[in-house]
Amino acid sequence: MPGIDIYNASGCHVHDIRQHKEVSIDLQEEIKAGLSSTPKSLPSLLLWDEEGLKRFDKFADRGQYYLRDKELEILQKRGMEIAAIIPTDGVLVELGCGSLQKTGRLLQALEKQNKSIRYYALDVSLRGLTDSLRELSRELGTIRSISITGLWGTYEDCVTWISSQVGLESLGMSTVTFLWMGNSVSNMDHHADASALLTHLKHACQSSSLDCQFLIAADACEDIKKIHDAYDTRHPTLQAFISNGLAHANGVLGHKVFCLEDWSCVSEFYPHESKLEVYYCARRDMNVDLGNGGTYHIQNGERVRAITSGKWRKALMIEVASAAGLQMNHAWGDSSGVYYFYHLYDGI
Ligand SMILES: C[S@@+](CC[C@H](N)C(=O)[O-])C[C@H]1O[C@@H](n2cnc3c(N)ncnc32)[C@H](O)[C@@H]1O
């Protein structure tokens, strides 16, 4: 099932690979589940609509958000080496591609190496995806050996889509490389969830008789001050990014359940759990009424988790990989040793 082709303005093909076209219904259920749980949370997917992607980029373009600069530094200095592990006649799938600001460097390195590659950019927001693909095409200009296609869907949709790619192998495409940048691997609620997704992607490749490998860029920073500065919730760009999650929730629920003025945003770093969490924080006692779905009492000062960002040391990344039956072949670090690109392969 290649997915339904969508007309769009990016100049690239975009396949709709969504299994559940009614995403808002799933999100409504997840909102209920999150508000019923202890501690409370809201689905992080609420942050990633078209507006959320724009606001995230404004936040991430600040120098204090060291992750983006570190990734660019590694791609700048080691891009050719990283590209060298991607075989020619291969498939490159970028998970949660966002604004695609860094991808051009890797694709240019692949082009210099004369590799024939089918590149697929996956994300959940169609408008965000088409805007990003248009920018990427403009940045790259004419490229000879790489085809670019968008995939509109979630990570789980990608698993299903890969499982249906029987036949690629007969076209001489035998390896899928999953590229996952921006420390998104650690946005999963728990690192076991990241291992589970890697396992699902690996099994999907196996069921389509494809080999698979992963290139994952992740944050290993342990410097508390640096982390606090990066996620300083007094900064308006972070507040704007997080509050858009509540606006999106209102859109999904079909009425104004969350009054944005009633919420601020706070973050906390948990060194022993190697993670930072960002929360919506209630400014007063309130009842959140989801209609038929129930009413949830929230106290002044109570926190509702918006997103997690792991700060995983290399050893933890090796654990995550090994729980998915993957081995770490190489890690390319930035000059200060806080950020890495990991090459994981199916070693079993
Ligand atoms: C932290 S941003 C990183 C964006 C980009 N990779 C970068 O490095 O700048 C996370 C990206 O993953 C996407 N995303 C989040 N959850 C997703 C899911 N379940 N399925 C597909 N994409 C998802 C978001 O839309 C967003 O573009």
Question: Atom 7, ligand 1: which residue's CA is nearest?
Answer: 182
Q: How far is the CA of 48 from the centre of ligand 1 (A)?
A: 7
Atom 23 of ligand 1 has which residue's CA nearest to it?
Answer: 96
Indicate the pLDDT class of residue 173, thresholds 50, 70 and 90.
confident
Counting ligand 1 atoms within 8 A of each CB, the residue from 123, 129, 156 with the most, and so the one to mutate, is 123
Question: What pTM was computed for the model?
Answer: 0.95
**Average pLDDT, stretch 210-233?**
96
Q: How far is the CA of 253 from the centre of ligand 1 (A)?
A: 22
Q: Residue 25 pLDDT > 70, yes or no?
A: no
Predicted confidence band at 1 (pLDDT cuts at 50, 70, 90)?
very low
Q: Is the CB of 159 under 6 A from ligand 1?
A: no
DSSP state letter for 37: S
Task: Evaluate whether the domain defined by 63-222+312-346 bears CATH number 3.40.50.150.
Answer: yes
Q: Which atom of ligand 1 is nearest to the CA of 217?
A: 8
pLDDT for the residue numbered 51: 96
Q: For residues 278-294, give the mean pLDDT.
A: 92
Please, where in the chain does CATH 3.40.50.150 lie? 63-222+312-346
Over residues 237-253, the mean pLDDT reads: 97
Residues 132-145: b if buried by 16+ CB within 10 A, e if exposed: bbbebbeeeeebee
**Percent of the chain with pLDDT strictly greater than 90:** 86
Does ligand 1 have an atom closer than 6 angstroms to the CB of 288?
no
pLDDT band at 243 (very low <50, low <70, confident <90, very high): very high
Alpha-carbon gap, residue 143 to 168, rounded angstroms: 22
pLDDT of residue 170: 64
How high is the mean pLDDT of the chain? 93
What does the buried/exposed string (b/e) look like for 324-348 if buried means 16 or more CB atoms within 10 Å of the residue's CB? bebebeebbbbeeebbbbbbbbbee
pLDDT beyond 90 at 126: yes
